[in-house]
Amino acid sequence: DAKTTQPPSMDCAEGRAANLPCNHSTISGNEYVYWYRQIHSQGPQYIIHGLKNNETNEMASLIITEDRKSSTLILPHATLRDTAVYYCIVLSYNTNAGKSTFGDGTTLTVKP
């Protein structure tokens, strides 16, 4: 079973921030949180990852709670091209060879 829980769908207005939550209450100390997105049926595209600190890159920001049991992916200015399925996963190479199961993700629909 997937170790993360995400809402099945969300809407966002174009130009507004999209905040996608993820629950990973059973995360272990050496597991990282990774976010990917999948547009249509293409291969998942890496967005961002983090261990315990908040992270930002050119695509998004990742906010991880202090207890690491949940996180939020923030797309600061959503565009129509951000409409996709977003997956949050946890994985560790040290203890689990990077194995992970992707849950059903969140379908984000950006509306004009």
Partner 1 sequence: NAGVTQTPKFRILKIGQSMTLQCTQDMNHNYMYWYRQDPGMGLKLIYYSVGAGITDKGEVPNGYNVSRSTTEDFPLRLELAAPSQTSVYFCASSTGTANSPLHFGNGTRLTVT
Site for partner 1 contains 43 (CB under 8 A): yes
What phi-psi label fits residue 104: left (phi over 0), alpha (psi between -120 and 50 degrees) or beta?
Answer: alpha
The mark string for 89-108 relative to partner 1 (x by CB under 8 A, - otherwise) is: ---xxx--xxxxxxxxx---
Please give the Cα distance from 80 to 69 (Å, whole number). Answer: 30
Which of the residues 51 through 80 are near partner 1 (CB under 8 A)? none
Residue 55: which residues within 8 A CB-CB, separation 6 or more? 48, 49, 61, 62
The pair of structure tokens assigned to 51 is: 């261990």
**CB of 93 vs partner 1, minimal distance in Å:** 5
**CB of 102 vs partner 1, minimal distance in Å:** 4
Site for partner 1 contains 86 (CB under 8 A): no
Cα 88 to the center of its chain, rounded Å: 4
Residues that bind partner 1 (CB under 8 A): 2, 30, 32, 34, 36, 41-46, 49, 87, 92-94, 97-105
